[in-house]
Structure 1
Amino acid sequence: MKKKLVCTFIGLLGIAMGTVSAQFSRPISIGAGAGGTFALTDLSNDGAKFAFYGEADYLITPFISVGIHGEKGKLSGSGYNSDFENNYYAANVNGKIRVGQFLDRPDNYSYYTLQANTFSRILSNVYVGAGAGAFKNRIKRQLDPNYANGIVDKGGEIAEDRSGIHFIIPLNVGVDIPFGRTLYGPQWAINVNYQHTLTTNDNLDGIINSNKDQYGFVSVGVKYALFNRN
């Protein structure tokens, strides 16, 4: 699984680097991709699991966007003769700001998309972002009685609800690598992203303890820009 993800990332990045351009000048983009998740829970992560996503973004400026993101994947962990698997669904609303927002560039943005050098194009599309959303559990677990009793003795609890919905905070860092030059900017992009998701109820694994559960999602995707700016 890990080898496939690495090979996919290297291949897509190599294709994009040859024809890279600046961020979309079109106001709306849609995208989809896939990658690997890893759980940070009471039970230790036992390897990357598959997840995929779909999203849509609106560009307020060429380098600031707001968007929606939907995700389906799997988290798992094991330890203490116990294990869990969570086939989850997640959705969020998010905002991203790119380095290009702080760089000097011509007022004529279409001219910039045709003339900027490769380093500037890549640097300008590095971004950070944050959002808010919901996460739906679908937990299967097998807990050793001694481990479960130990959790309860320390003030924790074994969650009865294995399919509830709770609030999450996704944090993102990544880069959009658009390619294909036109007067109105590129229409396609490769997206490489790391999303770190914080939870509020400590129930990704069915065990509620003092530390809030978290998970990471490394992904590679493709974005397509719609419409032209007036």
Structure 2
Amino acid sequence: MKKLFFTLIMFGCLATASAQFSRPITIGAGAGVSYGLTDLKNTKTNFAWYGEGDYLLSPFISFGLQAQKGELSGDNGENSYNNSYYAGNVNAKLRLGQFMDLPENYSYYTLGASNLQRILSNIYIGAGAGLMKNRIKTDFTGTYMENILNREGEIAKDRSGIHFVVPLNIGLDIPFGRTLYGPKWAINVNYQHGLTFNDNVDGVILGKNDQYGVMTVGVKYAFFNRN
């Protein structure tokens, strides 16, 4: 009975937030920098870009797909790696506006809210699941490889493997342009932290899974959003 009550409450909240909302599909693209958090500590920042599509279940809850291309690298002067990777994921995002005291009719909100309120309501967190394909090149000295072996590690033989990743997102959509059914355009600022389930992002395996980060700025456009 409690589960049924909770479900009805959730649907009621979505229905309230979605009044006069056209549930648009958005597409976006952007670029930024990527960096590795790996066994070789001297990391570098590199260029990364992405493309994505999202379906807005409510003005503040979305589900989407993202494709990403970037590089992860490190260099301590004697040893270096470069991973020119591809990644893709499915994800969900929850925006702060879902918990704000907004008018029941979404049109009243989108037409009357201040710019600050519109920006604050579009701060979000998100998570997903996806795959990452490595393309690793390394230049390690014999001394470094011997040190890895002495620490019960190994130099990876597989330089182009595919493995599972969990992307964690925190970011902000800055909407511009007002219609009865929500903004058509937005500037997106996002940080994505990639949790890998593999210790082979840098070509070194030491028993602790590697991670990486991607900071980007992009643009979004909403389709099927009536004027």
Q: Normalising to structure 2: TM-score of the pair?
A: 0.87
Amino acid at match of 1:211: K
SS at match of 2:83: strand
Superposed displacement of residue 26, structure 1: 4.1
SS at match of 1:60: strand
Which whole-Å CA distance do the structure 1 matches of 2:196 and 2:137 have between them? 19
2:136 to 128, 134, 139: 139
Amino acid at match of 2:123: V
Q: Does residue 1:190 correspond to 2:187, yes or no?
A: yes
Which whole-Å CA distance do the structure 2 matches of 1:183 and 1:62 have between them? 12
Contact 1:26/1:185 (<8 A) preserved: no
Which whole-Å CA distance do the structure 1 matches of 2:221 and 2:187 have between them? 9
1:43 to 26, 40, 44: 40
Which whole-Å CA distance do the structure 1 matches of 2:162 and 2:221 have between them? 31
Which whole-Å CA distance do the structure 2 matches of 1:62 and 1:197 have between them? 26
Q: Which has the higher contact order (CA 8 A, sep 6+)?
A: 1
Which whole-Å CA distance do the structure 2 matches of 1:25 and 1:181 have between them? 14
Structure 1: segments with no counterpart, 5+ residues: 1-23
CA deviations over 1:80-138 (Å, ceiling 9, x no partner)? 72100011000000010000000111111012100011221111000000111000000
Which whole-Å CA distance do the structure 1 matches of 2:81 and 2:106 have between them? 50
Q: Does residue 1:214 correspond to 2:189, yes or no?
A: no
Q: Normalising to structure 1: TM-score of the pair?
A: 0.86
Structure 1 segment 1-230 matched on structure 2, within 5 A: 26-79=23-76, 81-228=78-225
Structure 2: segments with no counterpart, 5+ residues: 1-20
CA deviations over 1:187-221 (Å, ceiling 9, x no partner)? 00000000010111111101011221111100000
Superposed displacement of residue 38, structure 1: 1.2
Which whole-Å CA distance do the structure 1 matches of 2:81 and 2:44 have between them? 13
Alignment coverage as a number of residue pairs: 206
Which whole-Å CA distance do the structure 1 matches of 2:199 and 2:99 have between them? 37
CA deviations over 1:123-170 (Å, ceiling 9, x no partner)? 100000011100000001011111111111211111100000000011
Contact 1:26/1:226 (<8 A) preserved: no
Superposed displacement of residue 182, structure 1: 1.4
Contact 1:52/1:73 (<8 A) preserved: yes
Contact 2:44/2:72 (<8 A) preserved: no
Contact 2:184/2:222 (<8 A) preserved: yes
Amino acid at match of 2:39: D
CA RMSD in angstroms comes to: 1.3
Amino acid at match of 1:154: R
Q: Which has the larger radius of gyration?
A: 2
Which whole-Å CA distance do the structure 1 matches of 2:101 and 2:82 have between them? 48
Which whole-Å CA distance do the structure 2 matches of 1:45 and 1:80 have between them? 9
